[in-house]
Copies of this chain bind each other. A is one copy, B any other.
Amino acid sequence: MVRARSEERRAEILRAALEVIAERGYRGATLGSVAERVGLTQQGLLYYFPTKEALLVAVLEERDRWDTSGGRDREGWRVDLLESLVEYNAMRPGIVQTFSALLGESVTDGHPARTFFTERYAQVRANMADVLRLEFGDRLPGGLTPEQAAPLLTAVMDGLQYQWLLDPSAVDMPSAFRDFLRLLRGGGDA
C-alpha cells in the first residue's frame, strides 16, 4: 500500500517534470518548480529523485516505455505501426515538445542527456533498418538499402516534429510522414 502510493507519487513527479521541461527546457527547469507543481517541498522531491539528473534519466526512460507501447507490438516494430506512432504523437504535443527540447539541448557541451540520445539513436537506426529489411528485403523500391534509409526515416520523424511544434496549422505531421513512406515504397499512386 505504501509502495503503491510511492509509485503513484513518482509517476506524478515524472508528469510534472515533463511539463516543466516542455515549458523551459532542462537547463531552465528547477527541482523547486517540479516540486511545487506536485505539492512537495524540494526536500520531499529529493527523496524520490536525489538529483536533477536522476529525474532527467527517469523522464527519458519513461519515454521509452511510451514508444514501446506506441510503435511496436509483440513481434517488434513494423512500418505501419510507425505510422500509428506519428499519429499518436500528433495528439500529445506536450510530450513531443519535451523530447524535442531535450534533443536540441543534448548537443550542447556536457549535457547529461547526450549519452542517452547518442546510444538511443544508434539503437533506433538499427531497429529501423530491421523494420525496413523485414518489409522490403535488402533493397527498398526507391533504391536504398535498409541501412541507408534508416537514418533518413529517423531524421524525417524528428525534423517534422520541430516544424509541427512551431506551426501545427502549417504542417500536417502524420500526412507528411505518410508521404515519406510513399517515397520509400517507390512512389507512384497511393
Contact = CB atoms under 8 A, between A and B. Distances in A.
Interface of A: 22-25, 27-28, 97, 100-109, 114, 117-118, 121-122, 125, 140-144, 148-149, 151-152, 154-160, 162-163, 165-167, 170-171, 176, 179-180, 182-184, 186-190
21 contacts: A22-B108, A23-B109, A24-B27, A25-B25, A25-B27, A25-B105, A27-B28, A103-B104, A104-B162, A107-B162, A121-B163, A121-B167, A122-B170, A140-B187, A142-B187, A143-B182, A143-B183, A143-B187, A149-B183, A152-B183, A155-B156
Number of this chain's copies in the assembly equals 2
Contacts of A25: 25, 27, 104-105, 108
Contacts of A122: 167, 170
Which of A155, A159, A184: most chain B Cβ within 10 A? Answer: A155
A91 to B, nearest CB: 17
A143 to B, nearest CB: 3
B108 A24 contact: yes
Nearest to A24: B108
Contacts of A156: 152, 155-156, 159
A109 B22 contact: yes
A70 to B, nearest CB: 19
Nearest to A106: B166
A6 B189 CA distance: 58
A21 to B, nearest CB: 8
B107 A105 contact: no
Contact of A154 (B97, B141, B163, B187): B163
B171 A163 contact: no
Contacts of A143: 182-183, 187-190
